[in-house]
Amino acid sequence: MNKDYHDKVEGRVEEYVEARKEKGSPDIPARVGLQLMGWKSRKQPIRKVVEYFNFDFEFAKRPELVSFYNLFERGEDFFVSDQRGHWFMYEDLYKPLTNRIILGKTVTKIEYSATSVDVTTSDGDKFAADYTLCTFSTGVLASDMVTFIPALPQWKKEVIFKNPMTVYIKIFLKFPSKFWDDHEYILYASKERGRFPVFQDLERPGILPSGSNVLLITATEDEARRIERQTYNETKAEVMKMLRTIYGQAIPDATGKGEELTA
């Protein structure tokens, strides 16, 4: 079914997009583009999970919320398992500035002009600068958490609202031994779209040290928000029930969770 998807749709996306651009046609949601290209069935669980793997898993958003024109611009994927963590990548950048970094401050207002910027925090402190680089998420920018004076221009708001924040959860489970399929990605075709759909075998060569026996499960959007509200044990129970329907009741319980791992 995944090959069927690739042959009928994904392999022709770039060509179809370029043809639309040449005609001057506007961008459309990926869902609409897929339907125009012949991908119309969303009822079968196997089609749901194939679609999820190609869209939600890549963009953390349903095809309705993804730009059709950006589908083939995903770039190359990497899985980073360096135990030094992501901060190590930025060490040379932030270490020389350590004595100038202020933590524990919440920005509430930014007043700006062509020549200066004034930033106010929730405790009343003010900071003045010639210019400011904002690294707020689109979720913060789309809310009323920070007041901009003057207000952000309409074109900038439109871009922010078109790229809403979503939730992308990774569940790491460590087992006494490996019992799952020997494939990098394993898809679970649940009747409920997005219910623990994508597993990653981190025991494969070149990812984690041999014998780690770690299975990574990804969830996004509404399902991820539901999981966020649960305890670890509640989520573990759900995952184990699902895994036992696939691999049998004899499989072992997970012995470790996310924060115990070094992935």
Does 198 score more than 70 pLDDT? Answer: yes
The whole-chain average pLDDT of the chain stands at 86
Contact 82, 190 (CB under 8 A): no
Distance of CA 176 to the CA centre of its chain: 29
Q: Structural domain boundaries of the chain?
A: 2-70, 86-162, 168-260
Q: Please compute the mean of the pLDDT values over residues 164-192 and round it to a whole number.
A: 89
Does 258 score more than 60 pLDDT? Answer: no
Q: How many residues does the chain have?
A: 263
Split at pLDDT 50, 70, 90, the class of 75 is low
For 246-255, the pLDDT digits (tens) are 999 999 999 8
Distance from C-alpha of 211 to C-alpha of 202, rounded to nearest angstrom: 10
Portion of the chain with pLDDT greater than 70, in percent: 90
Portion of the chain with pLDDT greater than 90, in percent: 41
Distance from C-alpha of 75 to C-alpha of 60, rounded to nearest angstrom: 15
Burial label for 180, CB within 10 Å (0-12, 13-18, 19+), is middle
What pLDDT shows up at residue 235? 92
Q: Could you identify the residue written with the tokens 């989520």?
A: 235
Higher pLDDT, 153 or 14: 153
Burial label for 211, CB within 10 Å (0-12, 13-18, 19+), is exposed
For 109-132, the pLDDT digits (tens) are 999 999 999 999 999 999 999 999
Split at pLDDT 50, 70, 90, the class of 4 is low
Q: Please compute the mean of the pLDDT values over residues 221-226 and round it to a whole number.
A: 91
Split at pLDDT 50, 70, 90, the class of 262 is very low
pTM: 0.74
Contact 117, 132 (CB under 8 A): yes
Split at pLDDT 50, 70, 90, the class of 74 is low
Split at pLDDT 50, 70, 90, the class of 84 is confident
Higher pLDDT, 105 or 165: 105
Does 36 score more than 70 pLDDT? Answer: yes
Q: Give one DSSP letter per residue of the chain, joined into a string.
A: -HHHHHHHTGGGHHHHHHHHHHTTPPP-BHHHHHHHTT-----SHHHHHHHHHHTHHHHSS-GGGSBGGGTT----------TT-GGGGGHHHHGGGGGG---S--EEEEEE-SS-EEEEETTS-EEEES-------HHHHTSSSSEEESPPPHHHHHHHHHS----EEEEEEE-SS--S-SSSEEE---SSTTSS-EEEETTSTTTS-TT--EEEEEEEHHHHHHHHTS-HHHHHHHHHHHHHHHH-TTSPPP-B-GGG---
Q: Please compute the mean of the pLDDT values over residues 239-243 and round it to a whole number.
A: 94
φ, ψ at 194 (rounded to 5°)? 90, 5
Q: Could you identify the residue written with the tokens 């042959």?
A: 7
Does domain 168-260 fall into CATH 3.90.660.10?
yes
What pLDDT shows up at residue 174? 92
Does 62 score more than 50 pLDDT? Answer: yes
The CATH H-level superfamily of 86-162 is FAD/NAD(P)-binding domain (3.50.50.60)
Does 175 score more than 90 pLDDT? Answer: yes
Split at pLDDT 50, 70, 90, the class of 152 is very high
Split at pLDDT 50, 70, 90, the class of 257 is low
Topology agreement, domain 86-162 and domain 168-260 = no
What pLDDT shows up at residue 107? 96
Contact 236, 257 (CB under 8 A): yes
What pLDDT shows up at residue 256? 65
Sequence-ordered list of residues with C-beta below 8 angstroms from that of 108, at least 6 positions apart, any chain: 120, 121, 122, 145, 146, 147
Cis peptide before 205 (omega within 30 of 0): no
What are the residues facing 201 on neighbouring strands?
Answer: 215
